[in-house]
């Protein structure tokens, strides 16, 4: 199998060039073609010698994944479908571009499916098909129609980014390095349920959790999916609360030095009767007291076949007011792309026989 170049750092590309007997400056040229001009084949790298292009094409591939369909919402939101299959079995992921005044924000997927199993989420119900590598994450940025105009990115698509931390950090490094896309890390937000201990193995002494590693190794913003301040109730919505309790996440956040660039926010989905009462608002206030943060309220969108109901607007407003008057900055996030099922928790990546996706008008 050929090795992919998309997602490699400048240093790694230099090593490859050295190994292949190519001049060191070829690494800079490769960065330019891969991350600035974003070409998808070696043929197009015209300032590389023919010999170098042939040699690279023999052993490597760029790793570019073009989208093969998109769906356009009447509010301008666009949902793109990518095929990331590595075997005969089809595997799809989605990215959503959300235009808002002079901004174009990309909502990026980090995994095909998700292991966290949140009950209200279409991706969570779908199960887990695998981690995306950094070329598959970066392709969502580089090969959509608005690639040149993107202003911001949120890792809030399919998957739990901190469950695929190495690839997410690598993609962020490419996006924010001067040899890459030179984005400010302030333009990127990573959303997580709060993976506060090592996953799938016994943590070695003093081993950092993915959450701590993310905060140490990246300067991107962090958004924690909180959704319910009570352990038992959060557990019922999000089974991952058992492995990664919110209290531990908050302990880690309180220990971290947030001076400098990073901002922490909390995502809070409003479910009628389940998360939107004054009791929940008051518990949220005491939980977040003293932590410099903001709360983004999201009215739940019905994904079909669930017992969950979106909160009434009156309850949402009352909740928002209660938080704000207690000194916690809270705002209701506008919902976008509902007619193409691009809203929070709706991404499924399923192409066939899906009860909700079959209503989406895809354009090839
Ligand atoms: S809400 Fe996020 S973390 Fe939870 S199952 Fe869905 S994709 Fe995974």
Q: Is the domain of 19 the same as that of 146? A: no
User: What share of the chain has pLDDT > 70, as a percent?
Assistant: 93
Q: Is the domain of 117 the same as that of 139? A: yes
Q: Is the domain of 99 the same as that of 141? A: yes
**Ligand 1 atom closest to residue 157's alpha carbon, by position in its atom list:** 7
Segment holding 179, helix H or strand E: none
DSSP for residue 310: B
Domain count, the chain: 2
pLDDT on residue 362:
61
**Residues 345, 300 contacting (CB under 8 angstroms):** yes
Query: Which of 44, 61, 78 is the last residue in one of the domains?
Result: 61
**Which of 107, 114, 293, 344 does the annotation list as catalytic?**
344
**Residues 99, 76 contacting (CB under 8 angstroms):** yes
pLDDT in tens, 136-161: 999 999 999 999 999 999 999 999 99
**Ligand 1 atom closest to residue 122's alpha carbon, by position in its atom list:** 6
**Residues 191, 177 contacting (CB under 8 angstroms):** no
Can you list the alpha helix ranges (DSSP code H) found in 60-204?
122-126, 134-142, 165-176
Q: Is the domain of 41 the same as that of 143? A: no
Q: Is the domain of 45 the same as that of 117? A: no
Q: In the structure, which protein residues have their CB atom closer than 6 angstroms to any atom of ligand 1?
A: 114, 116-118, 121, 123-124, 158-160, 193, 345
Q: Is the domain of 134 the same as that of 256? A: yes
pLDDT in tens, 220-252: 999 999 999 999 999 999 999 999 999 999 999
- Hey, which bits of the chain come out as E strands? 3-4, 60-61, 67-72, 78-83, 92-100, 103-107, 111-113, 128-131, 152-155, 188-192, 221-225, 264-270, 294-299, 329-332, 362-363
Q: Is the domain of 19 the same as that of 101? A: no
Domain around 160? 67-363
Q: At what angle do helices 134-142 and 165-176 cross, to 10 degrees?
A: 40
Q: Is the domain of 25 the same as that of 91? A: no
Ligand 1 center to 169 CA (angstroms)? 19
Q: Is the domain of 53 the same as that of 74? A: no
- CATH number, domain of 56, equals 1.10.150.530
The reply to whether 94 belongs to the active site is yes
Ligand 1 center to 61 CA (angstroms)? 31
Q: Give the predicted TM-score (pTM) of the model.
A: 0.93
CA dist 162 → 30, 207, 258 (Å): 29, 15, 19
pLDDT on residue 303:
75
358 pLDDT more than 50: no
The residues, ordered by sequence, that sit 6+ positions from 317 with a Cβ below 8 Å of its Cβ are 332
């Amino acid at each position: 199998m050929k090795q992919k170049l998309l997602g490699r750092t400048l240093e790694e590309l230099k090593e490859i060039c050295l190994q292949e007997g190519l001049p060191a400056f070829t690494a800079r040229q490769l960065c330019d073609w891969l991350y600035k001009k974003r070409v998808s084949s070696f043929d197009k790298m015209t300032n590389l010698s023919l010999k170098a292009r042939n040699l690279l094409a023999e052993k490597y591939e760029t790793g570019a994944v073009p989208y093969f369909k998109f769906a356009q919402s009447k509010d301008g939101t666009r949902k793109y479908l990518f095929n990331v299959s590595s075997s005969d079995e089809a595997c799809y992921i989605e990215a959503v571009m959300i235009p808002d005044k002079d901004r174009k924000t990309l909502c990026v997927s980090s995994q095909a499916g998700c292991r966290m199993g949140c009950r209200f989420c279409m991706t969570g119900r779908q199960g887990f098909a695998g981690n995306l590598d950094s070329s598959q994450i970066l392709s969502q940025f580089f090969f959509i129609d608005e690639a040149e105009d993107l202003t911001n990115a949120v890792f809030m698509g399919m998957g739990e980014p901190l469950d695929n931390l190495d690839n997410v950090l690598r993609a962020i490094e490419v996006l924010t390095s001067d040899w890459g896309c030179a984005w400010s890390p302030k333009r990127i937000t990573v959303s997580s349920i709060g993976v506060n201990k090592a996953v799938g193995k016994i943590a070695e002494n003093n081993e950092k959790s993915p959450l701590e590693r993310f905060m140490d190794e990246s300067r991107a913003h962090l958004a924690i999916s909180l959704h319910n301040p009570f352990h038992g109730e959060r557990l019922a919505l999000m089974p991952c609360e058992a492995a990664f309790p919110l209290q531990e996440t908050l302990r880690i956040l309180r220990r971290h030095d947030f001076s400098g660039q990073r901002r922490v926010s909390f995502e809070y989905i409003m479910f009628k009767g389940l998360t939107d009462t004054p009791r929940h608002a008051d518990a949220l206030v005491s939980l977040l007291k003293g932590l410099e943060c903001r709360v983004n309220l999201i009215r739940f969108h019905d994904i079909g076949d669930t017992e969950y109901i979106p909160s009434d607007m009156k309850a949402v407003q009352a909740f928002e007011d209660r938080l704000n008057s207690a000194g916690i900055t809270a705002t209701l996030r506008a919902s976008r792309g509902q007619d193409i099922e691009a809203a929070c928790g709706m991404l499924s990546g399923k192409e066939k026989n899906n009860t909700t996706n079959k209503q989406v008008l895809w354009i090839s």
